[in-house]
Structure 1
Amino acid sequence: MATGTTGTLPAPTIDLLLNLIDTRPNSILASLSQHPQLASASDAHGYSLVHAAVSYNQLPVLRELVQKYNVDVDKLDEDGETPLFAAELASVARTLVEEFGADWRVRNIEGKTAEEKIAEEEGEAHEVYLYLRSLRDGGQSANGGGAEGAANLAQLETAGVHPPPPLPDGVKINVGTMEEDAVGDAPDPELRRRIEELAAREDFQTEEVQQQLRELVTEVVSGIGSEQSERSVRRRVD
């Protein structure tokens, strides 16, 4: 007669838990209660559960890792990057910095901060970049800096309002007043339409579109547009 045997299930590995964090976060919490040493473990690339929790926006897992298991919120992977570098949402970045005291000034092995890397890879319209910039500016960013700027950004996100994309390099807008007689003629409607069209494009951050916008802004400022309204218009890219 066959006999069955019962045995202890093998202990989970850090690689297994990393693969589960996106779809089964509760399983991770249950595993950690039995194998707490995995809370601070890293895979072969230095990637840890706290990095993964930030990347996949798993705040309950993140809080348990930090508060219950005392995992270092500035834990480094093989690229010298803390979990903050993996943040996709400003709300998660705020939790790291304001709730757990993560250091947003840390530089990776390439010498870049999380703010600089996100700007380079995702663009300066990315919500995490805007939040980190507000910390660096200390109150001087477009949305306010420090805790006030973070609160303002949070309110915008909750309302579904996203900050406008940044201006191209070398372009600045100065707000002021001027006499009515000094205003001059209205901008060429065609140039205005083209600028608005470029600003609404999904590929606004690409170098090609940025260059087109710089050229159009230059035309508006210099008055070339109104003087050369008959010039040919660059073909729009759909």
Structure 2
Amino acid sequence: MSPNPYLLAADNPQALLELLRENPSIAVSQDEHGYSLVHAAASYNHFDLLRSLINEFKVPVDIKDEDGETALFVVETLEAARILVEELKLDTKITNDEGQTAREKIEAEEEFPEVAEYLAGLEGANGVANGTELPPAPQGLRVTVGTMDEAEAGEQQPDPEFRRRIEELAARDDIHTPEGQAALRQLVEEAIGGEGLAEERSVRPRQD
């Protein structure tokens, strides 16, 4: 009698890898509920097995169970989520049959807040990157976007330190929180009103 691959996925991933190399067709198998070996490997944090299923045995990383859920819906650790999303390129926007993303389901179940927070941070970062969910401008600030040719720009170059601070802020997971917005507001105010306003004040005629 051949061993149960799902039990091996939970308890003995190395033995499962040996079985898969003898019979690669097992790699894409799913049980009666659509639960796959990819789901099992991600859920049990067997990352070498997970990588092998996707990279060596070519199992689709977005394989779904009977509820339309990928392995991202069953992860219990931040590392598992990171490997699926960042390394194996699983789309976080995939929804299950109830219309929930993995982040929405995990948040609703209130079991793995660290994973939910990570996925929420990715959604915010992607929104900024794609121009679909820019953070609001600080109150009272008007921003005009335009272009400048080389003659107008002259030899001015962005300050390296300021550029570094912008990149750090853009990478923050809490950009949409009050703390993140406060940091954004401070950076914008420094950019448009820091040294320039100080110089203006220093040369303004004295009013007696």
TM-score w.r.t. the length of structure 1 is 0.53
| Alpha-carbon distance, 1:175 to partner | 6.5
Q: Are residues 101 and 131 of structure 1, via their aligned partners in 2, closer, same or farther at CA, if it must alter by over 3 Å? A: same
| Alpha-carbon distance, 1:22 to partner | 2.0
Q: Provide the rounded CA distance (Å) in 2 between the counterparts of 1:19 and 1:122.
A: 27
Corresponding residue SS for 2:11: coil
Equivalent positions of 1:136-147 (< 5 A) are 136-138=123-125
Corresponding residue SS for 2:10: coil
Question: Identity, % of aligned pairs?
Answer: 41
Q: How many residues align?
A: 141
| Alpha-carbon distance, 1:149 to partner | 4.6
TM-score w.r.t. the length of structure 2 is 0.61
Q: Does the alignment pair 1:90 with 2:78?
A: yes
Equivalence for 1:69: 57
Q: Deviations over 1:80-135 (max 9, x none)?
A: 00001011111111111111110100110011000000000025x71110110011
2:44 maps to a residue whose letter is Y
Q: Does the alignment pair 1:60 with 2:48?
A: yes
Equivalent positions of 1:9-158 (< 5 A) are 10-12=1-3, 16-122=4-110, 126-138=113-125, 148-149=171-172
| Alpha-carbon distance, 1:11 to partner | 4.2
The alignment yields a C-alpha RMSD, in angstroms, of: 2.9
Structure 1 segments of 4+ aligned residues over 2 angstroms from their partners: 147-150, 172-176
Gaps of 5+ in 1: 1-9, 153-166, 177-238
The higher relative CO (CA closer than 8 Å, separation ≥ 6) is in 2
Q: Provide the rounded CA distance (Å) in 2 between the counterparts of 1:149 and 1:33.
A: 42
